[in-house]
Each structure stands twice: as structure tokens, then as C-alpha cells.
A = this chain, B = another copy of it.
Amino acid sequence: MPRPRVVVAGAGFGGLWAARGLAGADCDVVLLDRNNYHTFFPLLYQVAAAELAPPDIAYPVRSIFRRAANVEVHMARVTGLELENRRLLTSLGPVSYDVLVLALGSESHYFGVPGAEQHAFPLRWMHDAIPLRHHILTRFELAAASEDPLLRRRFLTFAVVGGGPTGVEFSGALAELIYGPLLRDFPAIDRDEVSVVLLEAADGVLGGMPDHLGAYALERLRRRRTKVRLGVRVEEVLHGSVRLRGGETISTDTVVWTAGVRGDPGIAGWGLPLAPGGRIRVDEHLRAEGHPEVYVVGDLAWSEHGGGPLPQVAQVAIQGGRSVARNLRRTLRGQPTEPFRYRDLGMLAVIGRNAAVAHVFGRAFRGIVAWILWLGIHVTWLIGFRNRALVLVNWAWNYVFFRRAVRLILPAARVAPDDIDPTPSGDGGR
């Protein structure tokens, strides 16, 4: 029997862990991603808030698999799927597979709010975080150069939609950036001209956590000058403002959308069984229903086995990727497979330096204890796939002590993922 060819589409947590689990196995693995790096998503908001530089949370995928002779890595966009021919269509041409692992993640979901897709900033990928950081820093430059108080107010108001972990962490980090180094750099701007506003439809933040932790986060955010507005719904995002239900309008250039995610709508036409939120319905082995040769892991997978649908969080993706790799190895050895069981390890959110909330090991932590826990877990994690204690020092250093140099408004680079096509051009990179 020839060695089976496993194609893994996506090098996020799910795809990366599936491919790692198959390194050295008796199969050929092709790992595709539209970027040449893996993004450590839980810290992405810190790039947007100019606390970390992109290299601190991204790692070249090829380097991770340098010693894995059976894993081939390519930078390619996935454009379609031919289920009958077992071919994945990509920007590098069709790629044949015996087994496919779909780990394409999710994108922002705007729930049909008018103007949100055009005017709000998502925060899902590195290519969301960098422009957002540049946009925020540029608003301060524009405000400092303007003498119109209404215009300055609009430049200096930052609205974050969604009080889940990403919204809470990003607004906390943004307040820390602004009321710390940014206002020191802009003496012409008064602290009362600046607003960070967190908009949440429910009556508390961090919905998935115990109530008292949500209340603690709320109190900490407010103490750090973030205006948390509960029970408000965004009706429309406009050019230069956001309109709430009831008619109130907030004048702002910057609406950051963290309120929800869904699968890429393009996937709907591929012939796989769809579930709510643009996700793909999988069986208890994470195989697409009716297509046992197609595994789906991470945010894209919809599994109802063992209670409600799995949450779209990093741990589900990682455990899913590992489970798929384990089951494929078992199949190669002729052993029976084991169904996927998600083990909930808990939830953490950081409001700022020295302040966090954690619900892990079945216990609740808050304040500096939770913050140190958070730091420890993330640092351990980053070492895991960097394998270099020294990189860790660098990362911790940059994070714990503010690193100023990340406050650069860097130039546009035209080399986007879309530039990866086989027609070379001498000026393609400018």
C-alpha cells in the first residue's frame, strides 16, 4: 500500500497540532497556510495595542517542521474543494489528498449589523492587528494636528464592540497604551479628550465566567478609565460614528469588532454538511458527516457530541488537532479510532498588567495571582513550539517592560497573501 497523503489546510492551532502529531508517522503530510507563519492568536490583541511586535507572536511554519522529513510546508491560499476527486484547490494549483484535515478557522461575524463589515475593524488575524495599530497611532497624530475640538474628540474615541475575552483584553490593553506611553508622547492632547468605550449587549462582561469574576473585570476596567456600557446594542456602524439602539450616536473613527465569529462563507459551496455559524457538522471523530476522509478541527468544526456545540477557543482546536493525528496514526497501524473528548481547561482574561481573572482547575482566581498564572501559562506555551528558552526571555522582557519601539506606523507592504501566485514580477513587492 502506498503511503497515504494527508493534506492539512491551515496552520492555526488546529492544523499545526494535527501536523505536529503526524510528524514521523507513516504518511506524507502537506501543510498549507496562506501565511508563512503561525500566529499565537491569544496575544494578537497585544499587537493591535502596540504592546508586542508581530515577530513576538508569530513563528515561521517551516522552522517548526525543519526536522520532520514527512511534512512538507507550502504558503498557499485555499480557494475550493473537489470532494469527489479528493483535490483541494489552492493558489498554487490543485493538491490531491487521501485524507484532508480542514483547519481554516473562522472570521468575524457581524450579525447583519449595517456598515459593520465596511467600517469596523476585525481582530482575527495578523493582517487585522497591524493596520488597526497603525490606525490608532495615526488618530493620535491627526488629533495633535487638528484644532477642531469635535474632530479631535472623534479621532480620540475608540469603541470596542463585544465584552468577551478579546473585547475585554483589547480595551484593557488599549487603555494601558493610551493613558501610559501615548499621552506622554502627545503633550498637546489632554487625557479627558480620550475615550475607550466597551459596548456589550448583555448585562456583564466575560459571559462564560463565574459572575464575580466578570464583576471584578468590570470594576478593574472602569478603574483604568475604560467606559464599559452594558445592555447596549449596536444598530449601525457609519463612517465616523457608531449608532446604538435607542438612537444614541457615538462619534468615532475607530470601531473594533470582537462580537462574534463564523466560518468563511465561501466554504458553504463545497458540498460539506453545514451547521449554524457557517461551520461544518462533524461526527464524534471530527470527520465531516458523510465524508470520513475529511476531518475538520478548530473553529470550523461543529460537534454536538457531549453536550452543546464545542466553543470556538484555542483549546478545542489544539485538542482536536491532536485527536485527529492520534486517530490517523491508529488507523495506519490498523487499530480502532477513539472518539474526540474535549477537556475544558478553563478560561483566562487579562485586564492589564497585574490584573487578570482566571477560572482554571475548577477554581476562580483574580488580581495579580491570576495575572501571574496567565503569564506562566502563555510563556510555557510559547516555549512549547519555539523550543528556545532565550526567545522566551525576549518575549517576557518585551511584555513585562513596555517596549516603545512597537509604536511605529510602518509603511504599507503590497506583498499580501494574495500576491502568492506563480506569475513572478520584478516589481510585485512594492
Contact = CB atoms under 8 A, between A and B. Distances in A.
A322 interface: no
Contacts of A409: 35-37, 75, 415
Interface of A: 35-37, 53-56, 58-60, 62-63, 66, 69, 72, 74-76, 92, 118-121, 125-128, 130-132, 134-135, 137-139, 141-142, 144-146, 151, 154-155, 181, 184-188, 237-240, 252-255, 390-391, 394, 397, 401, 403-417, 419-420, 422, 424-430
B138 A426 contact: no
Contacts of A146: 422
A141 B187 CA distance: 46
Contact of A412 (B92, B252, B413): B413
B53 A55 contact: yes
A58 B138 contact: no
Nearest to A429: B135
A411 B130 contact: yes
Contacts of A119: 426-427
How many copies of this kind of chain does the complex include? 2
24 contacts: A36-B407, A36-B408, A36-B409, A37-B408, A37-B409, A59-B404, A60-B185, A63-B407, A72-B188, A119-B426, A127-B412, A131-B413, A134-B413, A134-B429, A135-B428, A139-B424, A145-B422, A146-B422, A151-B424, A239-B427, A253-B424, A253-B426, A394-B394, A413-B413
A62 B186 contact: yes
A39 to B, nearest CB: 10
A141 B424 contact: no
